[in-house]
Amino acid sequence: MRDELDTMGPVDYLVVEFPEARVPSEVLSRLVDLVDQGIVRILDLAFVRKEADGSVIGLEVADLDGDGELDVRVLEGAASGLVGRDDMDEAGAVIEPGRAAAIVLYENLWAIPFASALRRAGAGLVASGRIPVAALLDSLDAVEAATPADA
């Protein structure tokens, strides 16, 4: 277990809601690019749709982008079962009826050397978070507005 821990990067998840209950092909190709570049490893990928009555159903990886071609080849092996039914229900609770969501569980491969060095040094992660881009831009605008013009 210790050897495996030393060769893993931080693991994150995303729940991304899509209008019209389909995933644009550009989104899938950008995800594949991140994998191909060795930036992330997809540990699990699941899709759900919230029905008008509020029920949540899992979607098969098939023609996710509605282009008439099966997307299974692109995402083959991405469904590991780590994302369970409870996770799908939680994702469904935050999306609007009639929409779909992708649940992506991924390892940050780019961070493995840094994370390994931290573990070897006895360091431990004590907090983590994510700042939405819109909130960051709003904060930067507020700082700029508060800065005197002659500073």
Please indicate, yes or no, if residue 49 is contained in any of the structural domains: yes
- In 7-111, which ranges are continuous DSSP H helix? 25-36, 72-75, 85-93
Q: Bridge partners of 11?
A: 107
103's tokens = 């649940």
- The pLDDT tens digits for 27-81 are 888 988 999 999 999 999 888 999 999 999 887 665 455 555 545 455 555 677 8
* Burial profile 71-87: b = 16 or more Cβ within 10 angstroms, e = fewer: beebbeebbeeebeeeb
**Is 54 within a domain?**
yes
Confirm whether 128 is domain-assigned: no
Instruction: Give the pLDDT of residue 125.
Output: 82
Strand intervals (E) in 1-151: 11-18, 40-50, 56-59, 100-108
Q: Closest by alpha carbon to 42, among 83, 84, 95?
A: 83
When divided into structural domains, the chain yields a total of 1
What is the distance between the alpha carbons of residues 41 and 67, in angstroms, rounded to a whole number?
25
pLDDT of residue 72: 47
Whether 94 is covered by a domain: the verdict is yes
Please report whether residue 151 resides in a domain. no
pLDDT at residue number 89: 92
Q: Does residue 142 lie within any of the structural domains?
A: no
Q: Is 109 helix (H, G, I), strand (E, B) or coil?
A: helix
Residue 147 lies in a domain: no
Whether residue 134 is contained in a domain is answered as no
Residue numbers of the domain that contains 22: 9-111
> What pLDDT score was predicted for residue 78?
66
The pLDDT score that the predictor gives to residue 149 is 72
